[in-house]
Amino acid sequence: MIHEDKRRFMRMMVNTQAQLTVLSTGHKLQGICHDLSATGLSIIVDEPLEMNEMLEVFIDSHGGSIPPLNAHVKVIRCGNNSEGDGYILGLEIVQFN
């Protein structure tokens, strides 16, 4: 049986540091951005977050030719990270800053 990915946008594997801020509380977290697309991303973090929680995410590009990613995102999935410790967040990009 062949599994088809029905996403409209390709996901790019990035595995780079991400800084998250919970908008309602100002709580800051560090994570690793696992993959990224035009509409969302997944980030591995040490602590779980609630569904629909709004966050600000910042990922530095470390290059002058590509601007950093700075966006408001919504948690649409939070589950145990199957590749190791922590949790994997599925985040929907709501607004680019």
**Residue whose pair of structure tokens reads 């290059």 in the numeric block:** 63
pLDDT, residue 4, reads 46
**Is the CB of residue 69 less than 8 Å from the CB of residue 77?**
no
Look at residue 13 and tell me whether its pLDDT is greater than 70. Answer: no
Q: Convert the pLDDT of each residue in 52-62 to its tens digit.
A: 999 999 998 77
Residue 43 CB neighbours (<10 A): 29
Going by the DSSP 8-state scheme, the letter that residue 42 receives in this structure is E
- Which domains does the chain possess? 12-96 (2.40.10.220)
